[in-house]
């Protein structure tokens, strides 16, 4: 089992085509491309943490359809564009506004929003976030996991850390 992270898929939300200049002709093409890239990357037995803004402006039942089509055991960290239907969907393994994980020897803080400071920041913990669509200036041990920053697909911690020239230290158990 591999653990993946992503954010800001904005399934069904036409604003991302205009505001974020995503390279898709329309929302059906956008949604299908993101589903395809997700499923090329994440296996059925993998775990994935979605750090908010899953879907918006979708018809009733669409959230469940999307979750059923997407591989992996899915956790939601809520974002500002996650409505009641997204939050209530039965296929989430968990739904919360914030989480802390130990993964591969690293302490992780997960939230939709980027923090200026976070728990155990001085002890090497890493802040993973979404919301900024790849537009924030990078900070030490802080990473945007949104699809706009990662070829519209989920990523692993190894990929995140490999993208940085910053030396990381493991935090221990």
pLDDT tens track for 70-101: 999 999 999 999 999 999 999 999 999 999 99
pLDDT tens track for 113-136: 999 999 999 999 999 999 998 888
Q: Is residue 35 part of a domain?
A: yes
Q: Is residue 47 part of a domain?
A: yes
Give 110's strand partners: 99, 128
Neighbours of 134 (CB within 10 A): 15
Neighbours of 36 (CB within 10 A): 13
Q: Is residue 148 part of a domain?
A: yes
CA distance 7 to 152: 9
User: What CATH number did the domain enclosing 44 receive?
Assistant: 3.60.21.10
* Better-predicted residue by pLDDT, 165 or 147: 147
Side-chain half-sphere CA neighbours of 22 within 13 A: 29
Q: Is residue 60 part of a domain?
A: yes
Q: What is the pLDDT of residue 173?
A: 47
Q: How confident is the model at residue 163 (pLDDT cuts 50, 70, 90)?
A: confident
Asked if 99 and 145 count as a contact pair (C-beta separation under 8 A), the reply is no
Q: Is residue 11 part of a domain?
A: yes
pLDDT tens track for 3-51: 999 999 999 999 999 988 999 999 999 999 999 999 999 999 999 999 9
Q: Is residue 170 part of a domain?
A: no
User: Residue 63 pLDDT more than 60?
Assistant: yes
Neighbours of 173 (CB within 10 A): 6
**Which pair of structure tokens corresponds to residue 37?**
């890239």
Q: Is residue 169 part of a domain?
A: no
* Better-predicted residue by pLDDT, 66 or 134: 66
pTM of the model: 0.93
CA distance 29 to 62: 15
CA distance 83 to 132: 19
Q: How many domains does the chain have?
A: 1
Largest separation between any pair of C-alpha atoms in the chain: 46
Q: Is residue 168 part of a domain?
A: no
CA distance 72 to 24: 25
Q: How confident is the model at residue 137 (pLDDT cuts 50, 70, 90)?
A: confident
Q: What is the pLDDT of residue 168?
A: 53
CA distance 85 to 89: 6
Helix, strand or coil for residue 170?
coil
Provide the residue range defining the domain that includes 106.
3-162
pLDDT tens track for 148-162: 999 999 999 999 999
């Amino acid at each position: 089992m591999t653990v993946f992270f992503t954010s800001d898929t904005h399934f069904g939300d036409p604003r991302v085509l205009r505001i974020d200049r995503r390279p898709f002709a329309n929302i059906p093409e956008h949604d299908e491309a993101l589903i395809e890239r997700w499923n090329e990357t994440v296996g059925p037995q993998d775990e994935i943490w979605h750090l908010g803004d899953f879907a918006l402006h979708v018809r009733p039942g669409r959230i469940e359809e999307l979750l059923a089509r997407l591989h992996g055991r899915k956790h939601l960290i809520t974002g500002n564009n996650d409505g009641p239907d997204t939050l209530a969907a039965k296929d989430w393994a968990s739904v919360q506004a914030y989480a802390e994980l130990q993964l591969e020897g690293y302490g992780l803080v997960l939230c939709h929003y980027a923090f200026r400071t976070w728990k155990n920041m001085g002890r090497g913990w890493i802040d993973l976030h979404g919301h900024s669509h790849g537009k924030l200036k990078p900070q030490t041990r802080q990473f945007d996991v949104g699809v706009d920053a990662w070829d519209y697909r989920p990523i692993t911690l190894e990929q995140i850390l490999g993208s940085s020239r910053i030396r990381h230290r493991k935090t221990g158990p």
